[in-house]
Each structure stands twice: as C-alpha cells, then as structure tokens.
Amino acid sequence: MDLELHDQLAVVVGGASGIGRAIAEAFAAEGARVALLDIAPTVEATAREIAGQHHTATLGLVADATDFPALQRAARQVEEQLGPVDHLVYAAGMSCHRGGLPFWNQQPSDWPRMLEVNLLGAVNTTFAFVETFVARRQGTILFIGSVAGQIGSQTDPPYSAAKAGLINFSQCAAKDLAPYGVRVNTLNPGMVDTPLNRGVWAGQMKNLPPEERVDFETWGRQKLQRMVPLNRWQTPEDIANMAVFLASPRARNVTGQTVNVDGGFVMHW
C-alpha cells in the first residue's frame, strides 16, 4: 500500500531502538527521509543502518528530550540538513523499574524524572518544532503513549500518570493546531516485548517474596492470558504500521484521537 509519504521528512525522538526505531524504519520503507533523535550514542549508527536498508536520506543526532535548548539546536540542524519537517513522533519513554502495587513501594522522589521524560520531553519536542508546522500549515504529530495512561496502571503509577497527561496534552495540541491543518494523535501500545516492559516485570518481581517470582516469559504469558483478549504480544512493527498510517493522507480526518494497538487490552463499553 502506497501511503503517499515518499520524500517527506519524519523526525522520530527516541528512534535509536525499540518502538521508535521500528517507526523510523517504517517511514523509511515508505520512502520518507528520517531524522532520529535519541540520548543513546548508537543513534547515528542506527540512522546509517536504516539508510543502507531503505536507500533514503537519514540523520542521527544525540539529543536529550528533557533539555529544551538541545532540542531547539537539533531541530535547526535537522532542517538545515534535511529540510522542513512533515511528521514528528515522540517515542522516548522510561519506566521506574522500582515497581508499584501498592504505590507506596515507590517514593515521591521517583516521580519527577518519570514526568520529565514521559510527559515534559514530549512537550519540549512539540515546542521545538511547532513553529515549522504552523508556518507551513501542514503536518502530523504523534505521541507514543501507553494503555497505562488510560487504566491507571498500578504497576508503575508515575509512568501511568505521565502517559495520562500525555494523552491530555495531545488533545490540547490537536485543538490548537487544527486551524493550521496539523493533526495530533496519541498511539498507545499494549504489551510489547521491549526493555521498558522487562523493567516493569523486574520491578514487580522485586516486591514479591522469592517463592512467588517468575521469569519474564511466564509473567508475560500469564498477563496476556489474563488481560489481552487476543492473547498475544504486540510487536514494535505493529505499532509502527499504525504510526505511518496515522501520518498518511489516508488518516486525514483523524486528529485528537487516542488509538490503541493493544490486542484488546483496553476496551470502552
């Protein structure tokens, strides 16, 4: 399917690995140019690998989404080297790895960094690029959220609260940018086998007595059976397929929405 993204420019923050990398690769497979921003020093090598696989222009920059001046500099560098941005994806995120349930297993001191990365990083990113979107009166912005932002996940309350805030900010931004023809949505993964999810498992196991602890595969299988109607993991590619669709003209009337790719994890009756 041609999603009409050829030669457009997509910026993926958090694009060095996991879901972010899968999204960057999906844009490149559609013929888009791709800029990857990430704190990981591997981001430049990842960009080169994607360029070699898909024969499209890429750029990898080390940048911290929690550092607004650094993001502003990165935004200027992207536009200087690759041109104006058409699509912006915020895919950076982290979990506490301490484990909630109950919430006082964590400390108030666990909250600031979680909010800084999962929510304020997205705000910084949007501010760094928004003037280009407004001036050009076109484009899309996508935040990678989580089903935890919809259900009040007890496994990591600060992460859950940050993702809920992200969904709300997405709706505010969508309303403000709609008159300029810019669409803003949130895409919520369910259970994806990523380092973040493994961190959730590790945090939960720390709070259990040794006889109740299980390995990651057992934990995942039990959680899928209990909570996911389709009873299967989602993959980074599943998330990426929806991300590029939402960026495409085929989704031209979709904005301010929270779209779940979660195997049925969250259902609203």
> Does residue 159 carry a catalytic annotation?
yes
SS3 of 225-254: the string is HHHCCCCCCECHHHHHHHHHHHHCHHHCCC
Helical segments of 60-209, H only: 68-82, 111-115, 121-136, 148-151, 157-177, 195-206
Catalytic annotation, pick one of 159, 169, 201, 265: 159
Q: What 3-state class would DSSP assign to 59?
A: strand
Q: Is residue 249 part of a domain?
A: yes
Q: Is the pTM of this model over 0.75?
A: yes
Q: Is residue 166 part of a domain?
A: yes
Q: Is residue 266 part of a domain?
A: no
| Digit-coded pLDDT (tens) for 101-140 | 677 777 888 889 989 999 999 999 999 999 999 999 999 9
> Taking residues 182-196, what's their average pLDDT?
89
Whether residue 201 is predicted with pLDDT greater than 80 in this model: the reply is no
| Digit-coded pLDDT (tens) for 49-101 | 999 999 999 999 999 999 999 999 999 999 999 999 999 999 999 876 666 56
Q: Is residue 211 part of a domain?
A: yes
- Structural tokens at position 241: 């397929």
CA angle 71, 33, 51 (to 5 degrees): 100
Question: What is the DSSP-derived secondary structure letter of residue 179?
Answer: G
Q: Is residue 269 part of a domain?
A: no
- Structural tokens at position 218: 């057992």
Q: Is residue 192 part of a domain?
A: yes
Please state the φ and ψ torsions of residue 4, each to the nearest 5 degrees.
60, 40
- Sign (positive/negative) of CA torsion 122, 125, 131, 135? negative
Q: Is residue 91 part of a domain?
A: yes
Domain coverage including residue 158: 9-261
| Digit-coded pLDDT (tens) for 140-158 | 999 999 998 998 777 788 8
Q: Is residue 3 part of a domain?
A: no
Q: Rounded CA gap, 1 and 262, in Å?
A: 23
- Residue 238, domain CATH: 3.40.50.720
Domain count across the chain: 1
- Sign (positive/negative) of CA torsion 169, 173, 175, 181? negative
Whether residue 269 is predicted with pLDDT greater than 60 in this model: the reply is no
Report pLDDT for 99: 64
